[in-house]
Amino acid sequence: MHPPSPSRLLSGLVALCALTSAAHASDDESSSPSPSSSTTTTTSTVTPCVATSTNGAFYDLRPDTAVIPEKDVKLARGTHTEDYLARGYDYGYNITLNICAPVVKGVEDVVGLTSEGWSKIGAWYEKGGKVYSLGQESGALTPRGRKLVLQYTGGSPCEPPEDKDDKRKLASRGVHEGAAYSKYSDDEDEDRDHDQTDSDSDKDKQNSNASKEKVRRKSATISFLCDRSPDNPTAVSFVGTDPDECSYFFEVRSQHACAGAEPHKPGSVGPGGVFAIIFFIALAVYVIGGIFYQRTVVKQRGWRQLPNYTLWAGIWSFLKDTFIILTSSCARFLPIRRGYRSLSSSSRGRYGNNDDENRLIDQLDEEWDD
């Protein structure tokens, strides 16, 4: 009879508002469980760089992995796009490494590694123009008590044979420094040389026998420390090596190394789900029990047999009013500025509707009373 009533317009707006907020909520939900979904793909098996300790603490270090920024992919705030640099101080070289992934800036011509191994190097350093690997990357994060540890193994051979010989010569020269050094006149020296050649030939035999498998290779052990302050970016410190520079130790301070709660797996009921179930059971008990009581004991009929009818009716009318206010503010964001008009005309319509409802309910009540 007349154009769409203001109240219908309003209800449409309410629906629009609710829809947009719901869309936002679902966006948040889908993005929250995996903050780094853009950088790593989660697999159904063991996820690299994620660990759960025996006491239930959950760690996810994937946000600390340095990644190459792809075009058109927005990285999460604080994502590293460059490898970590650990200063070597007295060691005379700096170490470049990445966490749970190969170094972003690839290296080539690595000592003691074939070209297939170059792309998986997790840590390296350069010394004397040569690149040494500290191990192939790994995502096997291991909680060990209160420590969280990651280890890279299979780097460059620990002591290249020529280096060892150089060192030994240096050492023997050091021993005999200042003494009149003659190879064949000194018995002691002869013995020493015999020992040395013996051990050398032993070593050669070993090398020829189990040539490649027995080679000791450099490794890096990285320990993670929880640092809750959000201002401190993740930083890697070099701790030291063993005397023959075979095992390297690092310490990483990161806010992601703090124990957290494991995000619930899809399919299982999370804490929110448990709460919702309890809530709905309680609601069902309240409604069914209340209706039973009102019907049998108080002998109410119609809407009034609902438990605490007057209370809920009051809340309902309050909510309705709140909705009207919200929708009027919602309407203000629409290009057509008609918030006030629709509000004023809607209030008239609302009261009209209310009158209709009241009349209807009275009618029903009379019928029930009969």
Ligand X SMILES: *[C@@H]1O[C@H](CO)[C@@H](O)[C@H](O)[C@H]1NC(C)=O
Q: Which residues bind ligand X (CB under 6 A)?
A: 87, 93-94, 205-206, 209-210
Query: Quick one: 37 or 207, whose CB is closer to ligand X?
Result: 207
Q: What is d(CA 325, CA 70) in angstroms, rounded to the nearest whole number?
A: 46
Instruction: Give the nearer residue to ligand X in terms of CB position, either 210 or 361.
Output: 210
CA distance 5 to 46: 58
Helix (H) or strand (E) holding 108: none
Q: Specify the DSSP class assigned to residue 250.
A: E
> CB of residue 142 vs ligand X: minimum separation in angstroms?
29
Tell me whether residue 214 or residue 265 sits nearer to ligand X (CB atom). Answer: 214
Nearer to ligand X, 203 or 295 (CB): 203
What secondary structure letter does DSSP report for 76? P
Name the minimum Å distance from CB 125 to ligand X.
9
CA–CA separation, 174 and 345 (whole Å): 103
- Written as one letter, the residue type at 148 is L
Nearest distance from C-beta of residue 84 to ligand X, angstroms: 11
With respect to ligand X, which residue has the nearer C-beta, 55 or 211? 211
The CB-of-95 to ligand X minimum distance in angstroms stands at: 9
Classify 242 as helix, strand or coil. coil
Helices (H), the chain: 6-31, 115-118, 161-175, 187-209, 271-293, 309-331, 339-369
Residue 149 pairs in a beta bridge with: 142, 223
To ligand X, the closest distance from the beta carbon of 121 in angstroms equals 18
